Structure 1
């Protein structure tokens, strides 16, 4: 008996097999992400919307590749590593998908990597972030369209303009995403003269940050120079707001953090003028793909696309280009087509680095502006941080 009931996502009505004249079998793609059991569910839903829009855009609305219809099979990981492994195995085995895309949580996704190797089929990681997903424990069947923690943190370090007068305390969640991120941030600061004075890690789901905040205050308060608490927390709990409520201003301490999804940005109104880095903001990029995405999303959902929407679209665009250019759909030929491949996305051009299959991409340096007529704080573009400005460590070497 299968672990979960599968269903096919109808991307647009043309995806249904309504024409008896279609002689070729559909191209089956599994989309795996958490649809129940976590506050991260919103990320999953954005990624799915973006993936569907990406297939539509890349195929000119036909949802066909080389004359074959696309069939997307949705699997719910429930944000549990054991469930994720089971449903990925089910997708590769029972469902006979060509490739899979997922998942949402870095910790959950890490458990899926060996399944791709066991079945010798492609897994495109989106939207999970941790560096370790293309690290030594990964394998040659894994490609990653999502940004990684090193990109988050190198861009964040660039936005802070570090020098010997900068002192930073970090706060992150105690799992792969948080620890990889802080390690990347420290690496990005090397040679700048800046100092990380303490690192605080809290369990996922933490709601009380008082003790961690007091320890960060004590580590920073007597330093001579610019004093910053860097918050790198993906989940709920409102860590920045609770730190702000404990009055860091009395010690001359400021808060810095990366951008977030639109539903969270209203909370950034408490931090006007704050600078940081973010993966995507819909007004930051001006290119044909992003312009289509913004226009279409506004028309269909009466709201702009969020950054996991852009990520899902980028993954779909990578899938379509791969299948349009590969000499065959044998896994080895897919790998050959993908290694070093560049493709257009809402963020501009991305490129799969051959060595570890991480997609190199730009980031956005922003400064928060508050407009009372806008529901959320606006991360105004300071500049685009291009991929070649960041020295992203190679996670593994496939050669």
Structure 2
């Protein structure tokens, strides 16, 4: 389906102390009209994401993708079977308490479809709220594996850490007997990567060590030195947010690239220049960049986002896929949460990354992954596709 450039009605919500006090600490049952539906034939979807804070650029890309995906999935009408979809967007600033306050506010107003989370720590709190209140929750860029199979109400529209690490494992080849050092932020995202590397590469016979760095750290020299002290054969970096550039500079200054190959996830467009002169030396696993997939859905998404004055970026497909999932849930579920869950479980569809499947048993999103390199183009860098890894090759084991 192709959109026609419709405008989506979006409400932006701020968290307030009044809301927190009114809702208290308890869960809130949704209103009886279902899916935030109103008498005028409107259905509200709550988007809780980062519009400010360290992950604001990820939230921006997600929202651009969601708008493009909703346009695409509804043929530009912003309607499902005559019911208009209205987005209610709230800024969590990557803070779990703010996200939970917003979720309670929305649920109290009758919204029973929530989506959008960029932070793994926030996503885990949102998943808890979804189960407590029996609402549908579709997480966004949050990568933690812990979301997969966490409960019946939680889905995801992006990749997860296991898929990242499995892509890196293929790129690294035979790791048996090699010393792999994880250099990561000490948060849910970094800890998830640490667990996945130990589970996957450690399971293949690698000797895995970790150097974990607090989120509030701004100076990385001593941590880079710790990496060298491990005498690595391979360094796996898991990093996100505004300190990315200074982190890479520290690794370069301490000679980490002279000691061992370095692999990491390809970040968003704004980060390409942050790698500096080491960009050519890094091996990248990639969730998405605009020229990686070759299909009509990706072409439509890229065009829609560009027509809106933006660029298709790392987490743009997460928003696009979330919109596809929301439309599917509304079409098939008719406002009933259990029916919406049934409609999504096992659903296979064409997304920006190609054929994409919501695994029925644990709601993992099975999708292709990519390997890439950065090439100098004038004064900037652009990603180039090295390899496509088929969805089944990087699929996580099914959660219990």
| TM-score, structure 1 normalization | 0.86
After TM superposition, which residue ranges in structure 1, 4 or more long, deviate above 6 angstroms?
A: none
Tell me what 1:33 maps to.
Answer: 49
Tell me what 1:116 maps to.
Answer: 130
* CA distance 1:293–1:44, shift in 2 (3 Å): same
Q: Please state whether the residue corresponding to 1:272 is helix, strand or coil.
A: helix
Q: Deviations over 1:205-227 (max 9, x none)?
A: 32212222112101116xxxxx2
Q: Paired residue for 1:163, among 149, 161, 175?
A: 175
Alpha-carbon distance in structure 2 between the residues aligned to 1:29 and 1:284: 30
Tell me what 1:335 maps to.
Answer: 341
Q: Is the 8 A contact 1:153 1:182 kept in 2?
A: no
Q: Deviations over 1:95-121 (max 9, x none)?
A: x12311021211112112221112211
Is 2:273 the counterpart of 1:257? no
Q: Please state whether the residue corresponding to 2:118 is helix, strand or coil.
A: coil
Q: Deviations over 1:263-284 (max 9, x none)?
A: 0011235221532211101001
* CA distance 1:167–1:90, shift in 2 (3 Å): same
When structure 1 is superposed on structure 2, of 80-89 and 277-286 the one drifting more is 80-89
Alpha-carbon distance in structure 2 between the residues aligned to 1:121 and 1:285: 33
Q: Please state whether the residue corresponding to 2:311 is helix, strand or coil.
A: coil
* CA distance 1:14–1:245, shift in 2 (3 Å): closer
Matches within 5 A, 1:1-399: 12-13=6-7, 15=9, 24-36=40-52, 38-94=53-109, 96-135=110-149, 138-164=150-176, 166-196=178-208, 198-220=209-231, 227-237=233-243, 238=245, 239-250=247-258, 252-270=259-277, 271-301=279-309, 303-326=310-333, 328-372=334-378, 375=380, 377-395=381-399, 397=400
Q: Please state whether the residue corresponding to 2:315 is helix, strand or coil.
A: helix
Alpha-carbon distance in structure 2 between the residues aligned to 1:13 and 1:312: 16
Task: Extract unaligned runs of 5+ from structure 1.
Answer: 1-10, 17-21, 222-226
Q: Is the 8 A contact 1:170 1:199 kept in 2?
A: yes
Shift in Å, 1:191:
5.0
Q: Please state whether the residue corresponding to 1:263 is helix, strand or coil.
A: helix
Shift in Å, 1:234:
1.1
Shift in Å, 1:324:
2.3
How many pairs were matched up? 366
Q: Please state whether the residue corresponding to 1:355 is helix, strand or coil.
A: coil
Q: Please state whether the residue corresponding to 1:349 is helix, strand or coil.
A: strand
* CA distance 1:14–1:154, shift in 2 (3 Å): closer
Q: Is the 8 A contact 1:15 1:69 kept in 2?
A: no
Alpha-carbon distance in structure 2 between the residues aligned to 1:187 and 1:322: 34
Shift in Å, 1:344:
1.6
Shift in Å, 1:249:
4.7
Q: Is the 8 A contact 2:8 2:86 kept in 1?
A: no
Q: Deviations over 1:279-301 (max 9, x none)?
A: 10100111111001112222331
* CA distance 1:389–1:14, shift in 2 (3 Å): closer
Alpha-carbon distance in structure 2 between the residues aligned to 1:117 and 1:358: 17
Shift in Å, 1:369:
1.8
When structure 1 is superposed on structure 2, of 175-184 and 203-212 the one drifting more is 203-212
